[in-house]
Amino acid sequence: MKATIYDVAREAGVSIAAVSQVMNGKGKISEERRAEILKVMEKLNYQPSVIASALTGKKTYTLGLLVPDISNPFFAEIARAVEDQGHEMGYSLVICSTDNKDERVERYLSLLQQKSVDGMIIGTGMDNKEMLKPLMDRSIPIVMIAREMQDLALHTVVCDDFVGGCMAAQHFVALGHKRLAILAEHTKVTSSRERVKGFVHTLEEAGMTLSDHHVRNCRYTAEDGKREALELLELPPAERPTALFCCNDMLAIGALQAAKQLKLRVPEDVSVVGFDNTILASVTDPPLTTIAQPIEPMGKKVVDLLLLELKKKSQDKQRVVMRPELIVRQSTGAPGHVE
C-alpha cells in the first residue's frame, strides 16, 4: 500500500504536522528534524497525495484543454506546447476532444469541474456560450486559445486571423488571380470567420469581389474540404476559381486531393493556400503554401495567462494577438502558368 503522511510521521517519531511542514517548506522546523523526516520520506518512497491535498483547499495541479479533436495535427501541436509549458510549472493536462459538439463540451466542462481542475484552456467553439457562465461565476479560471468568445471577459490568445486572411489574399492578388474561392469552416468558428473577412477585405480593396457560392462552409476534415473543392472545381471554366484559400491545412489537403482527382495541376490550374502551417503543410503534394500560426508561442502564452489568473484574480483580461506569417511553398503560382 502507499505510504501516507501518518506512516512518515510515525516512522520519524514526529507529528504529521511536522511532515506537512517540511513538504511545504512552511513553518519552523529544526534542521535536524527536517533532515530526519526527509530521510524517512525517501526510505518509504513517500508520495504525497495530490487528492488529499486538493481537498484541503490546495490546487490539483491539473489543467483541462478543450479542442475539437486531438488527432487533428493543429490541435495536437497546440496540446504539446500547452503540455510542455504546464509541465514546467508542475501541471498535468487533461485533453478533451469535443468534435465541436455542444453536448460534448458541456459534458467535459462538467467533468473537469467535478475533478476540480485548476483551470481550463478552451480551443473549441460552442454554439451556446452560456455554458461558460456558471464556471465564470464560480471563478474557475478560463482562457481561450485560437478561438474568441466575444462578450465574455476572458484572457485570449489568438493569431491575427483577419491579417492572416489578408496575407492570403494579397498573395493571390500579387500572383494575378482573378477568380478566387474560399473553403471556410463552420460559421460558428470565429477564427475562420475572421480569416474570411480579412481575405474578402483585401480583395475588395483590390477592386475584386467574391460571389457567395465561391465561399463554402465545411466542417474540419479533409473529406469535407475535398467534397466542397470538388464542387468548386467542377464549375464551368468561366466560373472555376484559379485560387483557393482554405481556412486550415486539413481543408487545403482536401482541396489538393480534389484537384488531383480532377486531373487539375497545382499550381498551374489552381493555386491553394492553407492555414496553420501544421506538419501536414510540409508533406503534401505539392508542399503547401500556408499562413503559419505561431503555435508554440501561443501555447506557452496561454498557459502563462492561466497561471497568472490562478494567483492574482480579477485583473484586466488580456487579449494577446500574435502575428501570422505567409509561408510560400509550391502550391501557389500565377494562374495558367507554370511557376
DSSP line for 63-117: EEEEES-TTSHHHHHHHHHHHHHHHHTT-EEEEEE-TT-HHHHHHHHHHHHHTT-
Query: What does 57 bind: a copy of itself, DNA, none (CB cut-off 5 to 8 Å by kind)?
Result: DNA
Cβ proximity to DNA, 48 vs 286, nearer residue = 48
Among 109, 78, 115, which Cα is nearest to 96's?
109
Residue 69 binds a copy of itself, judged by CB under 8 A: yes
**Sheet order of strands, 180-184 included:** 215-217, 180-184, 243-246, 271-276, 289-292, 325-327
Residues that bind DNA (CB under 7 A): 2, 4-6, 14-18, 20-21, 23-24, 26-31, 33, 48-49, 52-53, 55-58
110 binds a copy of itself (CB under 8 A): yes
Kindly tell me which residue out of 15, 24, 116, 187 binds a copy of itself, with binding defined by CB under 8 A. Answer: 116
* Prior bond of 286 cis (ω within 30°): yes
> Helix axis angle, 295-311 relative to 73-88, nearest 10°?
40
Residues of span 213-252 touching a copy of itself by CB under 8 A: 222
Residue 206 touches which of DNA, a copy of itself, none (Cβ within 5-8 Å per kind)? none
Q: Candidates 20, 271, 284, 289: give the one binding a copy of itself (CB under 8 A).
A: 284
Grid cell listed for 87: 509541465
Site map (CB under 8 A) of a copy of itself, residues 159-198, x = contact: ----------------------------------------
Handedness of CA 165, 168, 172, 175 (dihedral sign): positive
Q: Which is nearer to a copy of itself, 70 or 230 (CB)?
A: 70
Given candidates 15, 24, 47, 261, which one binds a copy of itself under the rule CB under 8 A? 47
Q: Residue 1 CB: number of other CB atoms within 10 A?
A: 4
